[in-house]
Amino acid sequence: MGIKNGILPYYNQIVSTYYPYPMSNRVTTCASLMKKYGHYIFGIYKEKDEIAKFIYGIPGEFTKEEQPYKGVTGFKNWSYANNDNKGESGYWLAFVNPKTGETTDPPKVSLT
């Protein structure tokens, strides 16, 4: 029960149940993008065998018009859908602290 429960951890919070500006109809929502593209992605990022972040990916183009909620709910990072085809399509990503449900910065990744 409650805002932070759903199909996946913190799903309702991510897809707009918690959107702080519900009266604005000029904002692209996660639900509208999921309907447009027919899917979303979910992942788990681990550090030392512990879940460090949940990751939600909403499909879209790298444009202001397709950034979910203008980034207010944590969708501030974008990644190509396919590195071989670096077009405009990809995913807006939100990283969520698994213990608090707060959106957080992406993990720091170093290439070796």
pLDDT at 36: 93
Prediction pTM value: 0.78
End-to-end CA gap in the chain: 43
At 83, list the tokens: 């590195």
Q: Per the domain annotation, does 63 fall within a domain?
A: yes
Q: What residues does 55 pair with on adjacent strands? A: 43, 95
Q: Per the domain annotation, does 66 fall within a domain?
A: yes
Taking only the tens place, the pLDDT of each residue in 4-50 is 445 677 776 666 555 555 556 678 888 889 889 999 899 999 999 99
Give the residue numbers spanning the domain of 71: 11-104
Q: Per the domain annotation, does 6 fall within a domain?
A: no
Counting the structural domains of the chain, the total is: 1
CA separation for the pair 82, 102 (Å, rounded): 28
- Identity of the amino acid at 41: I
DSSP letter at 75 equals: -
- Identity of the amino acid at 16: S
Residues 95 and 52: beta-carbon distance below 8 Å: no
Q: Per the domain annotation, does 19 fall within a domain?
A: yes
